């Protein structure tokens, strides 16, 4: 089989890149280890920067998002059970969209199917070859038969554990990582959201977040030790702990009920450099991970796709500057988003051995944010997304 760009990974970044390139007349094949049903069963974040929204519209997959998504013009931060609002619209004239990553992926799958896009599921043993030559190729096994795809470029959109990053020689690849000593216990419930916008809460017992998927589906999180297990948390224990940490007015109006999904996710910051080696490009989680505090994971993947898509279009028009400078451009934005996610995580979470002084410093940071329009503007600029 021959294609122009072989894309490893059928998550949102791989599908978005494939969709955009297809509309630009560039042929792609997407390889995905899991089934489509498995990919669509993943529960992920749903705060989209406006740049991501515009990219989805450019890809022709924004109709349902525009109809069902929630436009947010601000968010709430809290400490000592009192909250205050960061008004994106007033401060910087921008906004975000709340629309689940699962729904983004579903829309992209539908678009790829409608355009007869080639997405091959159930691939095993994916291996990347000759990446430092002008004739790279990818091999994989499906249903016991080995296949080969020859291509011009390979896009590694295969996540943190995929084979793409591992294909870069160890003496070339540099990795930077911080693993956080806690996790997020998250639940889904068929209940109306406690707030029409997200609430991020600092508390001496630990962080909490109130989010939503739609008008009757809420997503809530509390910080917990990594040693905890989901079975340790009954529904009543979760709701009681959430109420302790969020603003008093939100706790009083919180609608509780049976949870329909419950999981514990670890947090880490991670960056791999470079994001391009030979004919291979790393995209999204294959190159970087952020703690979910700043809602940057999917959005960073989308910005990678932006740079790579435009670079590849330029390449097939006779200009290779975009592909040559892909890593440099993408990493400049990645590190700024890593900084923001790290700083918000540090300000809002309780760390092991944290003293009363440390807690008061976090509260003082939030007090300053509440009283300073300049500080609010900095947070708003980063939260809604830096320009591509």
Which residues are tagged catalytic?
A: 72, 200, 292, 296, 383
Q: Which single residue is written with the structure tokens 């224990």?
A: 237
**CA-to-CA dists, residue 144 to 39, 124, 193, 261, angstroms:** 22, 9, 47, 35
**CA-to-CA dists, residue 149 to 2, 6, 169, 306, 327, angstroms:** 5, 7, 22, 24, 24
Asked if 303 contacts 388 with a C-beta cutoff of 8 angstroms, the reply is yes
Asked if 88 contacts 73 with a C-beta cutoff of 8 angstroms, the reply is yes
Tokens representing 115 are 């355009």
Give the three-state DSSP class for 92. helix
Distance CA 107, CA 110 (A): 5
Provide the greatest CA pair distance for the chain.
64
- H or E element that contains 301: helix 297-316
Distance CA 311, CA 173 (A): 22
């Amino acid at each position: 089989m021959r294609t122009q760009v072989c894309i490893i990974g059928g998550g949102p970044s791989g599908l978005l890149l494939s969709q955009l390139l297809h509309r630009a007349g560039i042929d792609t094949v997407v390889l995905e280890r899991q089934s489509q049903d498995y990919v669509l069963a993943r529960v992920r974040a749903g705060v989209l920067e406006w740049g991501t929204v515009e990219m989805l519209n450019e890809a022709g997959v924004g109709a349902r998002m525009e109809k069902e998504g929630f436009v947010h013009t601000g968010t709430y931060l809290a400490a000592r059970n009192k909250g205050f609002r960061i008004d994106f619209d007033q401060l910087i004239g921008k906004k975000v969209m709340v629309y689940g990553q699962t729904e983004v992926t579903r829309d992209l799958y539908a678009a790829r199917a409608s355009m007869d896009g080639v997405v091959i599921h159930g691939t095993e043993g994916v291996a990347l070859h000759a990446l430092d030559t002008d004739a790279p190729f990818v091999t994989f096994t499906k249903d016991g038969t080995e296949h080969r795809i020859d291509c011009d470029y390979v896009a590694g959109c295969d996540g943190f554990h995929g084979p793409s990053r591992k294909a870069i020689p160890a003496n070339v690849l540099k990795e930077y990582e911080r693993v956080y000593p806690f996790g997020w216990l998250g639940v889904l419930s068929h209940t109306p959201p406690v707030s029409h916008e997200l609430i991020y809460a600092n508390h001496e017992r630990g962080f909490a977040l109130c989010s939503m998927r739609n008008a009757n589906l809420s997503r809530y999180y509390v910080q917990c030790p990594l040693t905890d297990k989901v079975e340790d948390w009954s529904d009543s224990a979760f709701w009681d702990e959430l109420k302790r940490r969020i603003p008093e007015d939100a706790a009083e109006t919180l609608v509780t009920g049976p949870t329909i999904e419950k999981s514990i996710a670890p947090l880490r910051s991670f960056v791999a450099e470079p994001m391009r080696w030979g004919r291979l490009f790393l995209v999204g989680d294959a190159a970087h991970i952020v703690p979910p505090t700043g809602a940057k994971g999917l959005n960073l993947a989308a910005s990678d796709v932006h740079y790579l898509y435009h670079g590849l279009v330029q390449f097939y028009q006779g200009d290779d500057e975009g592909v040559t400078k892909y890593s440099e451009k993408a990493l400049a934005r990645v590190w700024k988003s890593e900084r923001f996610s790290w700083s918000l995580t540090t300000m809002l979470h309780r760390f092991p051995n944290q003293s009363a002084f440390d807690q008061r410093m976090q509260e003082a940071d939030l007090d300053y944010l509440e009283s300073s329009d300049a500080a609010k503007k900095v947070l708003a600029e980063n939260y809604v997304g830096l320009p591509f």
